[in-house]
Amino acid sequence: MFVTTHAAIGALVGAAVPNPYLAFSLGFLSHFIVDRIPHGDEHMLDGYKSGDKIKRAVAYVTIDSVIAMYVTLLILSNAPAHLHGAMKWGLIGSILPDLLVGVYEITKISPFFRRFTAYHHKNHHHWIGKYRKGKDIPFKWGVAYQVVAAIVLVKIAVIG
């Protein structure tokens, strides 16, 4: 799932649950729930570790991160100030799992991060394996519905 989608969901969680600690926890949990939805990227990054597709992987992550920052600023600039803290913590919780996986992939720093990354990947493909016989949806359809989902989430957050 794109970071942008996770960020929008996390911000909305924070708006719905104005307690920053609970918003962070629910944002973190929302990441794993949403990642179970097939979203077309199961094989997108195959080969990136060997360098075959590293430029494409970096491009996707960079574009997604820039859009996520814009979406975050857009949502927060339209939200009541008293919700900003919880929305930020919900957002941080919702993107943290992907950041932890990224840290592990770059550093291989600890057995905890190795186990966390293995769980994250297993969770990612839970419904693909269970209901789609191991086949993800086409990448273009995953991108399309995530873009629509992000637009809808932002409209809900901005307009109310």
Q: What is the pLDDT of residues 92-134, one digit of tens each?
A: 999 999 989 888 888 888 888 889 988 888 887 776 666 566 6
Residue 1 reports pLDDT greater than 80 = no
Residue 37 reports pLDDT greater than 70 = yes
- Pick from 118, 137, 113: which is nearest to 44 by CA? 137
Tokens representing 152 are 């809808």
- Average pLDDT rounded to a whole number, residues 52-57: 70
The rounded distance, in Å, linking the Cα atoms of 65 and 139 is 18
| Helix (H/G/I), strand (E/B), else coil: 90 | helix
Per-residue pLDDT, 9? 92
Residue 46 reports pLDDT greater than 60 = no
Per-residue pLDDT, 32? 93
> What pLDDT band is residue 51 in, cutting at 50, 70 and 90?
low
- Average pLDDT rounded to a whole number, residues 20-41: 89
- Pick from 103, 101, 102, 69: which is nearest to 88 by CA? 69
Per-residue pLDDT, 43? 61
